Amino acid sequence: MLTLYIGNKNYSSWSMRPWVLLRQSGIEFTEHKERFDSFEAQSQFKHALQALNPHGRVPVLVDQGLVVWDSLAIAEYVAEKFPELALWPREAPLRARARSLCADIHSGYTALRHHCGMNIEADLRDVGQSLWTQKADLREDVHRLCQVLTKPLSQQATPAMLMGEFGIVDAFYAPVCSRIRTYGLPVNDVVQAYVERVLALPAVQAWSADALLERDFLPFEEPYRSAPESHHKPV
């Protein structure tokens, strides 16, 4: 059976991608969570993960001794292992577009990731409003995100996922959807509707519910809060 190594569900956007992909696709796997104690070289987290990959990062997928790291590499491996699931679209043009969108979010939107770290448990809409006013690079990232996502969504007769059916590309954008909700970032109606559909996916709901149950406040992951909130957001 596949084993997926992940970090804290509240914070680990990279872990969320393959986890949601596997869960939503009905692929059986064992989850192994390694807590973010810190990312220093001598931390327990680094020690545990460096036994699996040289970078000491999550996610990591292990399949009968084969170790695959990096979320995009894991997605490609899973797509090849389960071709019947069509995790990439079967049509070549849609497949190329999905891969482009995944590459875009995999290597880009650095301002969005830097200013708005994933935090499922928190309600940071006030922070998001302040950031939106102060950070031009964040506004540029969100505007470009809306441009990139609106076209494929608008081309569908009945909007659903980015390429119609759920696939790798939607798993990759799930943490972005979570950030948009947490920080209340302004997006157009088409993208907002997509965000809500992604957040309603059973796998995303399950991940978010687990994140709320962690109650593991990590100050080094929390630039905008000095303590956890007294109540959780609804999943």
pLDDT at 39: 81
pLDDT at 233: 56
Tokens standing for residue 10:
């509240």
CA distance linking residue 230 with residue 189, whole number of Å: 31
Tokens standing for residue 56:
């000491």
Q: What is the pLDDT along the chain (235 residues), one digit of tens a residue?
A: 999 999 999 999 999 999 999 999 999 999 999 999 888 888 889 888 888 888 899 999 999 999 999 999 999 999 999 999 999 999 999 999 999 999 999 999 999 999 999 999 999 999 999 999 999 999 999 999 999 999 999 988 887 999 999 999 999 999 999 999 999 999 999 999 999 999 999 999 999 999 999 999 999 899 999 888 644 455 5
pLDDT at 149: 96
**Helix (H/G/I), strand (E/B), else coil: 58:** coil
Tokens standing for residue 206:
């399950």
Q: What pTM was computed for the model? A: 0.94
pLDDT at 229: 67
pLDDT at 226: 83
Q: State phi, psi for 168 to the nearest 5 degrees.
A: -55, -40
Strand pairing partners for 6? 33
pLDDT at 47: 84
Q: What domains are there in the chain, each with its CATH number?
A: 2-85 (3.40.30.10), 92-201 (1.20.1050.10)
CA distance linking residue 217 with residue 120, whole number of Å: 12
Residue appearing with tokens 């569900």: 9
Q: How many helices (H) and strands (E) does the chain have?
A: 10, 4
